[in-house]
Amino acid sequence: MRAGFSVIQPGIHSLLQDQGRYGRHNIGLTTGGPMDSQSFHWANRLCQNSPQCAAIEVTIGGLVLEAKINTSIALTGAAIPLSINKQPAALWQSHRIKPGDRIELGFANAGCRGYLAVAGGFQASPSFGSQSTVAREGLGGLHQDGKPLQAGDQLPCAESADQPANQRLAQAQRPNPSTDNSAHCRVILGYQHQAFSSVQKQLFFSSTYQVTDSSDRMGYRLNGPAIKPAVDGILSEGICLGAIQVPADGQPIVLLADRQTIGGYPKIGSVLSLDLGKLAQVTPGGTVSFETISIEQAHNLLLLNQRQLDCTELEFVTAEASDNDQS
């Protein structure tokens, strides 16, 4: 596989991610994968890729690439300015790329995670069945060592000269990040919610929490009114995506893509997977609030979302329309 792009500037924290590394919790390996799965999905779909294809998760921005092949790209997620050969290019839209083209990403002005997909996907060698980069485990990514992209890296992908361009997702269908750096998350209570009194649960669900500087792909540490379970700890058990752990200091932690596989803190519940992308776009200092929903409501929301994804058609836009839509 020939190099499709040269990395001129790697940006702040740019990682190869596919859907994740499944079936490896028994040997202590986490799932990884995109923090904002819906934006990841649409980046691939705009390039007519399968959902399993690897894309680049760009945190904050600053990535600069030079193309070596004919292909198509799309950038979704955070509001990160995109330019091709110094000309502004629209997000949530596919663009044709030719050898020598320079793709530059600015810095996010809303949200913090963007997804850059290429036709056919980036094609690094997998580790334990996945290209997903997990820095904490030193696993996956371009060099299978868990490191983010570096200047001088060569990103392999296939030539794809006949990919359609100027397809976009309609504005109303885009999961755009909040402009006020906040997220409201729906929560399904877990069986350990009984370790929290009704007063403690009311306090949690009526409060607003701030995302701290200690937040990362492993989990978002929150700061706000402390909630106290009736138990100090539990036997370590498996942890699901979005689980809300409450350690001894009473400050909740929402566990995300690179979470540990087991843990022994009580969990009040889990954030609905559809809302984790919104949470992942909040930067430190932003705010998060929660509400409870039933497991039946969660199932309905997931099925409705899948139906919407299946039924949504991409738009074809003219060059003139594209020039008027650069966000």
What's residue 1's pLDDT? 58
* pTM of the entire predicted model: 0.95
Rounded to an integer, what distance in angstroms lies between the CA atom of residue 22 and that of residue 33?
10
Using one digit for the tens of pLDDT, what is the confidence trace for 278-324? 999 999 999 999 999 999 999 999 999 999 999 999 998 876 555 55
Q: What is Dmax (Cα atoms) for the chain?
A: 62
Q: What is the pLDDT of residues 187-242, one digit of tens each?
A: 999 999 999 999 999 999 999 999 999 999 999 999 999 999 988 778 889 999 99
Question: Considering Cα of 178, then 184, then 188, then 190, what sign does the dihedral take?
Answer: positive
pLDDT band at 264, cuts 50/70/90?
confident
Q: State the amino acid at position 27 in one-letter form.
A: I
Q: In this structure, what DSSP letter does residue 225 have?
A: S
What is the rounded CA–CA span in Å between residue 22 and residue 28?
Answer: 11
Closest among 57, 59, 55, 54 to 130, alpha carbons compared: 54
Tally the residues of the chain.
Answer: 327
Average pLDDT on 90-105 reads 97
- Is residue 318 packed enough to be buried (19+ CB in 10 Å), middle (13-18) or exposed (0-12)? exposed
What average pLDDT does range 11-35 have in this prediction?
Answer: 96
3-7, 177-181, 232-236: range with lowest mean pLDDT: 232-236
**What integer pLDDT is reported at residue 47 of this predicted model?**
95
The helix (run of H) or strand (run of E) holding residue 201 is helix 198-205
pLDDT at residue 160 in the model: 83
The average confidence (pLDDT) of the chain is 94
pLDDT reported for residue 95: 96
Superfamily of domain 182-293 in CATH is Cyclophilin-like (2.40.100.10)
DSSP 134-164: BGGGTBBSTTSBSPPP-TT-EEE----TT--
Strand partners, 14: 58
Token pair recorded at residue 195: 């370790």
Q: What's the confidence (pLDDT) of residue 176?
A: 86
CA 18, distance to chain mean position in Å, is 10
Instruction: Give the C-alpha separation, 250 to 253, whole Å.
Output: 9
Give the pLDDT score at 215.
Answer: 97
Question: pLDDT band at 162, cuts 50/70/90?
Answer: confident
pLDDT score of 252:
98
- Going by pLDDT thresholds of 50, 70 and 90, the confidence category of residue 135 is very high
Question: Which position has the token pair 């500087």?
Answer: 213
User: By C-alpha distance, which of 283, 241, 13, 38 is closest to 135?
Assistant: 13
Parallel/antiparallel/unpaired status of strands 287-293 and 208-211 = antiparallel
Please report, for the chain, the start and end positions of each structural domain, with discontinuous segments joined by +: 3-174+315-323, 182-293
Q: What is the pLDDT of residue 161?
A: 73
Q: What percent of the chain has pLDDT over 90?
A: 89
Buried b / exposed e across 135-151, counting CB within 10 Å, b at 16+? Answer: bebebbbbebebbbbee
The Cα–Cα gap between 93 and 96 comes to 10
Whole-number pLDDT of residue 234: 82
SS3 200: helix
Query: Encoding tokens for residue 285?
Result: 């200092």
Q: Report the alpha-carbon distance of residue 6 to residue 100 in Å, rounded.
A: 10
